[in-house]
């Protein structure tokens, strides 16, 4: 699944995805983010980050889109875009507080 970043923080990210992806709250994902500067020269590669996140909110927006609020389970790791991502540990059972 691919999504566009709406908002990002140290603890999570909000993504906009196409509707009908079947994502529910509490779903865990491997996450790979690519951060680049539009004004940077083409020779400057983007920073690529990977890790694991759990969905804390999944909802439809006014536009024909769907938004996910993901919480990172651990700090993201930097990986080389030309190599394989860092090994990601098995995904633990998410513990999402009720009423969030």
Task: Tell me the β-bridge partners of 59.
Answer: 67
Q: What is the pLDDT of residue 72?
A: 93
Whether residue 100 is contained in a domain is answered as no
pLDDT digits 0-9 by tens, 46-66: 888 889 999 998 887 777 778
pLDDT digits 0-9 by tens, 88-97: 555 555 555 6
In terms of residue numbers, what domain contains 53? 4-79
Residue 85 tokens, joined: 């991502």
Whether residue 94 is contained in a domain is answered as no
**Interior angle at CA 31, CA 8 and CA 35, nearest 5:** 50
Whether residue 90 is contained in a domain is answered as no
Whether residue 33 is contained in a domain is answered as yes
Q: What is the pLDDT of residue 8?
A: 86
Whether residue 58 is contained in a domain is answered as yes
pLDDT digits 0-9 by tens, 2-49: 788 888 888 999 988 888 788 888 889 888 888 888 888 888 888 888
Whether residue 38 is contained in a domain is answered as yes
Is residue 71 very low, low, confident or very high in pLDDT (cuts 50, 70, 90)?
very high
Q: What is the pLDDT of residue 56?
A: 92
Whether residue 16 is contained in a domain is answered as yes
CA distances from 44 to 1, 35, 40, 47, 78 (A): 26, 11, 6, 9, 16
Domain count for the chain, please give it. 1
């Amino acid at each position: 699944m691919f999504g566009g970043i709406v908002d990002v923080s140290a603890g999570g990210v909000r993504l906009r995805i196409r509707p009908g992806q079947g994502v529910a709250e509490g779903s865990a994902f491997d996450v790979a983010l690519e951060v680049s500067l539009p004004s940077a020269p083409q020779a400057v590669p983007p920073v690529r980050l990977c890790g694991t996140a759990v969905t804390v909110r999944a909802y439809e927006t006014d536009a024909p889109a769907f938004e996910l609020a993901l919480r990172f389970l651990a700090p993201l790791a930097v990986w080389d875009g030309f190599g394989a991502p860092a090994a990601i540990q098995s995904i633990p059972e998410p513990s999402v507080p009720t009423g969030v």
